[in-house]
């Protein structure tokens, strides 16, 4: 009885000390957990843009070695219409799934940009977190064999700069590799593509949809 009677609870000071220690530990651990989560999302994003770039390349191989293009109605959309057969319009999702990709759920949006909010697949390719396609000079339809440096042709690009907590965007390139690139590097590559005398487009397809531009193609 005497021993049991000597038991006592924590004093208010002791409880405050414990809470302070826990707060310090949380302050030390949470930034590390945040960095780990951001790194995981960046890694997932790299994998997704790589899949989308490779799927678009496979599509192009099947359709005469020509990249997709943008139809006139899609000029101001956040992601371009791509061409299922160069004649009938289709979204990126409709173009690549299921022929080149087994499923679309979450694949067309950056995991960091959507911050865990899974969009409806049907609208994902138009949302603010959607990846964008860079299809080359003018409206696309670039002939793959004419691209001198596929590794310097950013094909699928993150929608928001700095979304992964570091400068730049994740980009999937025409040779199939994906990397985190600075905006300056991406702009430089796109300007080089626009100015390249080697890169050719399929003028027959382009003129069919943009006849007013045919004089400059």
Q: What is the pLDDT of residues 125-168, one digit of tens each?
A: 445 667 888 888 877 888 999 999 999 999 998 877 777 767 78
Cα separation, 37 vs 32, whole angstroms: 9
Closest CA to 94 of 86, 84, 85: 84
Ranges 23-32, 49-58, 200-209: which has the least confidence: 23-32
Q: Is the pLDDT of residue 2 over 70?
A: no
What is the reported pLDDT for 89? 57
Residue 147 CA neighbour count, 13 Å, CB half: 27
Q: What average pLDDT is seen over the chain?
A: 75
Of 62, 67, 53, the residue nearest 143 (C-alpha):
67
- pLDDT band for 10, please (50, 70, 90 cuts): low
Position with higher pLDDT, 121 vs 193: 193
Q: pLDDT of 45-58, one tens digit each?
A: 899 999 999 998 99
Query: What pTM value is reported for the model?
Result: 0.72
Q: What's the whole-number mean pLDDT along residues 173-191?
A: 90
pLDDT at 151: 93
Q: Is the pLDDT of residue 3 over 50?
A: yes
Quote the percentage of the chain above a pLDDT of 70.
71
C-alpha triplet 204, 90, 132: angle, nearest 5°: 95
Higher pLDDT, 92 or 89: 92
pLDDT value at position 77?
44
Residue 216: is its pLDDT beyond 70? Answer: no
Question: What is the rounded distance in angstroms from the CA atom of residue 109 to the CA atom of residue 127?
Answer: 8
CA atoms within 13 A on the CB side of 118: 5
More confident: 216 or 169:
169
Return the H-helix or E-strand segment holding 154.
strand 154-157
3-state DSSP assignment of residue 62: helix
3: exposed, middle or buried (Cβ count in 10 Å: 0-12, 13-18, 19+): exposed
pLDDT digits (tens, 9 = 90+) for 28-80: 666 656 567 777 888 888 999 999 999 989 988 888 888 888 766 544 444 44
The pLDDT of residue 139:
74
Closest C-alpha to 217, from 154, 145, 141, 150 = 141
């Amino acid at each position: 009885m005497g021993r049991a009677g000597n038991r006592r609870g924590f004093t208010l000071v002791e409880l405050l000390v414990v809470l302070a220690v826990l707060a310090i530990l949380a302050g030390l651990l949470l930034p590390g957990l945040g960095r780990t989560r951001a790194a995981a999302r960046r890694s997932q994003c790299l994998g997704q843009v790589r899949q989308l770039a490779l799927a678009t390349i496979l599509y192009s191989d099947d359709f005469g070695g020509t990249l997709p293009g943008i139809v006139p109605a899609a000029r101001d959309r956040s992601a371009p219409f791509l061409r299922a057969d160069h004649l009938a319009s289709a979204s990126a999702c409709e173009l690549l799934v299921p022929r080149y990709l087994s499923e679309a759920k979450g694949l067309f949006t950056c995991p960091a940009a959507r911050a865990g909010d899974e969009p409806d697949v049907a609208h994902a390719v138009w949302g603010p977190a959607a990846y964008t396609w860079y299809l080359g000079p003018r409206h696309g339809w670039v002939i793959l064999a004419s691209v001198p440096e596929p590794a310097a042709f950013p094909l699928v690009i993150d929608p928001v700069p700095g979304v992964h907590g570091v400068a730049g965007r994740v980009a999937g390139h025409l040779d199939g590799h994906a990397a985190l690139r600075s905006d300056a590097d991406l702009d430089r590559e796109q300007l080089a593509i626009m100015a390249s005398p080697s890169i050719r487009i399929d003028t027959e397809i382009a003129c069919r949809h943009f006849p007013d531009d045919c004089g400059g193609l």
